[in-house]
Amino acid sequence: MATEETGMPLGLTVVGEELEVGVVGTHTDMGYAVLPVFTTEARLVDWMPEGSPYVGLHGQDMLALFLKGPWEAVVVDPTERRSRTVSRAEAEALLATSPG
């Protein structure tokens, strides 16, 4: 459902130029610092059943955020059988080949 004024989903906040948010990272069993990211709100709740505030980002923006942080990898949907790990080198390559 979208608002008539903006055409954007209800509950979505469009941020102007800057927004400061805290980002939660975690560590793997081997001690690597990783940034968990989720493709849907349901995948977030699978990982953190009590829920959590979140910020929706486009993939390119998420990778740029990841590369500015201390993490060694991004783990997409960490509770899923088909979770995907993206290294810093892979993120850099993806951003280098993406338009815009």
pLDDT in tens, 6-39: 444 445 455 556 666 678 788 988 999 999 999 9
Whether residue 19 is contained in a domain is answered as: no
Q: Are 37 and 62 in contact (CB under 8 A)?
A: yes
Number of domains present in the structure of the chain: 1
Range in 16-30, 35-49, 80-94 with the lowest mean pLDDT = 16-30
60: containing domain: 26-97
**Mean model confidence pLDDT for the chain:** 82
Q: Is residue 16 assigned to a domain?
A: no
Tokens of 69: 């942080």
Q: Residue 40 corresponds to which amino acid?
A: T
What DSSP element (H or E) covers 74?
Answer: strand 73-76
Q: Tell me the whole-structure pTM to 2 decimals.
A: 0.75
